[in-house]
Amino acid sequence: MLNVAKAPRPQSLADRVRADFPILRQLVHGRPLVYLDNAATTQKPQSVIDAMRRYYEHDNANVHRGVHALSERATEAYEGGREKVRAFIRAHSTREVIFTRNATESINLVARAWGDANVRAGDEVLITAMEHHSNIVPWQQLCARAGATLRVGPIDDRGDLILDEFARLITPRTKMIAAAHLSNALGTINPVAEIVALARKAGAAVLIDGSQAAYHMPVDVTALGADFYVFTGHKLYGPTGIGVLWGREAVLNAMPPFLGGGDMIRSVTFAGSTWNDLPYKFEAGTPHIEGGIGLGAAIDYVSAIGFDAIGAHEAALLEYGTARLSEIPGLRLIGTARRKASVLSFVLDGIHPHDIGTVVDREGVAIRTGHHCAQPVMDRFGIPATARASLAMYNTTEDIDALVAALGRVRQLLG
């Protein structure tokens, strides 16, 4: 085990970036805020807040439709956000980058538009046992509509996907394989390249849910070669209400639209309508303009820091946090995968996670407790819930020390 006394103090990145996040400069219940709920949503740097504010103060207009200066500026800024997403995930073209409300909507879009056109009675959809509800329920609904079957690849006691059993569940009827890049409940990093290769071999489509990955590690959708990759802006230091569906252009072109209305059409008569080009075919109605702009600013921010620095910082924090939590008597970490990101899910003997969350909140420490929208993961480990501390670039070893001290308080009060 790590010798905590000699643990690296990986604070240089956090020291550099903390000042960029105004929300972190506050007291909660009279104590400095320690924000450890980043897997739920990350905090926003000043540059993201400023970009959205600037849009409303100077450029607010509807996009794509106007010839006036404000509309042109708004369109340029919004489409600029799309180009930043394209470059960030290394997509071939902005035609492959569809803005949605969030990852949940992105997956629903695929399950509806692609799924209804491609999945038939007797077909199968394969997911993993560590999925977020967003990557379970839309497939369940699709299977119910189509008369198809949902299959689930198992995970082991560490929270790793059992890849050979997963592979054995693939049959000639498997039409879609959908898997998380990184589990929000366990921190497991899935072998997505292998999953994509299995799908390719079987002739199945494949969707990767990158909601948790996109803010921890670089993503190259072109190299990965899946059919769909989804993520959500608010976890990537961007605003809520904006998500991304990346899809391979040929696959998106072959799909019918999802929602109907303005912007997604080329022409409309009462006899029928024709569809706009990508990506607009899948973007009905006035989009979340300031969301696209804010997400672009978030990508600028993250790119300027770089995933080498972010990854090294978070890996050191995870190591430190794992060692510190492991010293606590009666604490069990849930999720100890071989490849893991900075998520520390745990249970404490005899104390309900909800009570843990409430007591540590009084100490100024924000963690999440519950099933983390992954009830099947809780069932797999035979627990109702966990407490989860999840780390981001601005967290410090002092934040983890504060959590450990707050857990001491939990023991004092409830243990």
Q: Which of 132, 151, 175, 216 binds ligand PLP (CB under 6 A)?
A: 132
Say whether residue 103 binds ligand PLP (CB under 6 A): yes
Cβ proximity to ligand PLP: between 265 and 373 the closer is 373
Say whether residue 128 binds ligand PLP (CB under 6 A): no
Q: Which of residues 220-249 bind ligand PLP (CB under 6 A)?
A: 232, 243
Cβ proximity to ligand PLP: between 180 and 325 the closer is 180
Say whether residue 212 binds ligand PLP (CB under 6 A): yes
What would the x/- binding string for ligand PLP be over residues 166 to 205, using CB under 6 A?
A: --------------x---x---------------------
Name, in order, each residue with C-beta under 8 angstroms of 27's C-beta and a sequence gap of 6 or more. Answer: 33, 364
Shortest distance (Å) from residue 325 CB to ligand PLP: 21
- 143 an active-site residue? no
Q: Which of 128, 134, 342, 397 binds ligand PLP (CB under 6 A)?
A: 134
CA distance 140 to 151: 10
Dig out the tokens for 31 from the structure: 């104590």
Binding residues for ligand PLP, how many (CB under 6 A)? 14
Among 280, 279, 302, 317, smallest CA distance to 397 is for 317
Q: Using the rule CB under 6 A, give the single segment among 102-110, 220-228, 290-298, 386-394 that binds ligand PLP.
A: 102-110
Among 318, 324, 239, 260, smallest CA distance to 109 is for 260
Cβ proximity to ligand PLP: between 20 and 131 the closer is 131
Q: Using the rule CB under 6 A, give the single segment among 88-96, 100-108, 296-304, 348-356 that binds ligand PLP.
A: 100-108
Q: Which of 160, 209, 290, 363 binds ligand PLP (CB under 6 A)?
A: 209
Dig out the tokens for 276 from the structure: 């706009």
In three-state form (DSSP H/G/I as H, E/B as E, the rest C), the secondary structure along 214-233 is: CCCCCCCHHHHCCCEEEEEH
CA distance 210 to 190: 10
Shortest distance (Å) from residue 184 CB to ligand PLP: 3
Q: What angle do CA 235, 282, 256 make, to 5 degrees?
A: 130
Q: Which of 104, 276, 342, 345 binds ligand PLP (CB under 6 A)?
A: 104
Q: Using the rule CB under 6 A, give the single segment among 81-89, 99-107, 256-264, 399-407 that binds ligand PLP.
A: 99-107
Catalytic residue among 28, 152, 373, 383: 373
CB burial of residue 172 (10 Å; 0-12, 13-18, 19+): exposed
Quick check: 285 and 263 in contact, CB under 8 A?
Answer: yes
Quick check: 234 and 200 in contact, CB under 8 A?
Answer: no
CA distance 374 to 384: 11
What is the β-pairing status of strands 386-390 and 368-370?
antiparallel
Cβ proximity to ligand PLP: between 104 and 395 the closer is 104
Dig out the tokens for 153 from the structure: 């690849």
Q: Using the rule CB under 6 A, give the single segment among 129-137, 219-227, 328-336, 386-394 that binds ligand PLP.
A: 129-137
* Alpha-carbon distances of 145 from 177, 265, 341, rounded to whole Å: 18, 26, 36
The SS3 call for residue 1 is coil
Q: Using the rule CB under 6 A, give the single segment among 47-55, 130-138, 304-312, 314-322 that binds ligand PLP.
A: 130-138
Cβ proximity to ligand PLP: between 179 and 402 the closer is 179
Quick check: 161 and 192 in contact, CB under 8 A?
Answer: no
End-to-end CA distance of the chain: 26
Q: Is the bond preceding 279 in cis, omega lying within 30 degrees of 0?
A: yes
Cβ proximity to ligand PLP: between 74 and 310 the closer is 310
Shortest distance (Å) from residue 342 CB to ligand PLP: 13
Check residue 29 and report its DSSP letter.
Answer: T
Q: Which of 43, 102, 188, 397 binds ligand PLP (CB under 6 A)?
A: 102
- Residues annotated as part of the active site: 373
Residues in contact with ligand PLP by the rule CB under 6 A? 102-104, 132, 134-135, 180, 184, 209, 211-212, 232, 243, 373
